[in-house]
Amino acid sequence: MKPFVGRDNELRRLEDLLKSGRACLVVIKGRRRIGKSRLAEEFGKNKIFLPFSGLAPVKGVTAQNQRDAFARQLSTLFNIPPFTFTDWGDAFAHLSRQLTASPTVILFDEISWMGSKDPTFTSKLKAWWDLVLQNHPSITLILCGSISTWIDKNIINSTAFFGRISLYLEITELSISQCRELLNLQGFKGSDLEFFKILGVTGGIPWYLEQIQAHQSADENIKRLCFEKNGLLVHEFDRIFNDLFSSRGEVYKKIITILSQGMKDRITLQKTINYAPSGTLSQHLKALEICGFISKHPDWNLKTGKPGKLTLYRLSDNYLRFYTHYIEPNLTKIEQGSFLEIPLSSLPGWEPMLGFQLENLLLKNRPLLYQAIGIHAQDIVIDNPYVQKATHSGRTKGCQIDYLIQMRSNTLFVCEIKMRRRELGLEIIDEMKTKTDSLAIPKGFGVSPVLFHLGPLSDALLSSRYFYRIIDIADL
């Protein structure tokens, strides 16, 4: 079995359920490849583990196909003759006959695939839980899937399951330190720059990191996965959207492509994709947010510290951003094998793009940033990327801050994130002064510039004493 890293809190919460002495219903959701079923499998160690998975919703798959797949898996698990179920109630009843008093974990993986074709699925699952499983105190039933919108509608927010869910877990990416641990266990010995190159493409997605081969450099791994014909990440984008969003996939792809160019508010998105004014776009954005692909960042008033009316949407998934910038525009060349001899550093905007990917990664690891700066979460009013729009009068200039932290003490930490192979010099101070001079700082506030960097710094910059903190990202 491949190494298992992280998820300590999730495993602890699952194990705590066993101490309750009653049957437990658990819902786990998260992005494709995030490790939902792997977490359930790890929890199922030293217990009877019964995994069932729905069939991918390709064209032609019917509700009966899903029941047939369940029957085959049931037959294999218990080494019994195959059955044909025409009703989910019969399928659940047959599984019930195989249960014992021993601690048992039942996993329904990709439950949305399993039940979406049959409108009676959730009601029969609920009846099975109420009438049968609740009488088995040693049972933990885990429902998980990538289509978080289906789970939200049919399980979490359904009145049928109200009060029945013992634990709800939303699995997110591994932290930077956990990613390092996972790669180390796989034997990867690359430098800090190599490590962050890999994370720039994969983010903290465990399955992507598991594809890294220790004997290859970061560039060789990225080429093999992203730029070779039939590379595992070449067509991953299409699999994500075909599996999760089916016929509406094209709309979601357009939203992702636009957001890959930078943060946008809903009105700008609506105009860019020529979408009719309605609540449908908001629903699409909510679905992408629930799936973990985008995040929303409200603007805020520095003087009051309160969120404003404008909400910016950000593409927060590193792989999706990398795909739209480098894989999709070059699919024809990739199919022709034209990238085999091309160094990645020669790709247009390669170094700035990696820096932007690093910024995206750090925003998902904010506790590490707080620790490095020397601040505590309870003392923060709000922290996010910050965009200040210019006014028509010209009195307020436009500016964008990579990451702005507003403290209760009225201190503003203006953070800049840089990833460069070349030496970074005093020019970064001029950049920061331009931003802070443009920022409309309320009276009585103080500004503390912070530099997060990966790569060499000049002696002049180190001795300039301009920055409140200069933090080597490798130390995180």
Over its length of 476 residues, how does the chain's per-residue pLDDT go in tens digits? Answer: 678 999 999 999 999 998 888 999 999 988 889 999 999 999 999 999 999 999 887 788 899 999 999 999 999 999 998 889 999 999 999 999 999 999 999 999 999 889 888 999 999 999 999 999 998 999 999 999 877 678 888 888 888 888 899 999 989 999 999 999 999 999 999 898 999 999 999 999 999 999 999 999 999 999 999 999 999 999 999 888 776 666 667 788 889 999 998 889 888 998 888 877 776 888 889 888 888 899 988 889 899 999 888 889 999 999 999 999 999 999 999 999 888 888 888 888 888 888 889 999 999 999 999 999 999 999 999 999 988 887 777 777 888 899 999 999 999 999 999 988 889 999 999 999 999 999 999 999 999 999 999 989 999 999 999 999 999 998 88
Sheet of 48-53: strands edge to edge?
48-53, 104-109, 139-145, 24-30, 167-171
Please name every residue paired with 415 in a beta bridge, in sequence order, or none if there are none.
403, 450
Neighbours of 80 (CB within 10 A): 12
Of 357, 423, 356, 415, the closest CA to residue 383 belongs to 415
pLDDT in tens, 47-72: 999 999 998 877 888 999 999 999 99
Q: Which residues of the chain are in CATH 3.40.1350.10 domains? A: 365-475
Architecture of domain 174-362: Orthogonal Bundle (1.10)
Phi, then psi, of 401 in degrees rounded to 5: -105, 130
Q: Where in the chain is the domain with CATH 1.10.10.10?
A: 174-362
What residue has token string 């105009």? 271
Q: At the topology level of CATH, where does 8-171 sit?
A: Rossmann fold (3.40.50)
pLDDT tens string 294-325:
998 888 989 999 988 888 999 999 999 999 99
Helices (H) and strands (E) in the chain, counts: 21, 13
CATH class given for the domain over 365-475? alpha beta
Indicate where the chain has its CATH 3.40.50.300 domain(s).
8-171
The enclosing H or E element of 151 equals helix 148-151
Contacts of range 276-282, beta carbons closer than 8 Å, 24 or more positions apart:
none
Residue 411 three-state SS: strand
Please state the pTM of the whole predicted model.
0.89
Task: Dig out the tokens for 106 from the structure.
Answer: 């039942």
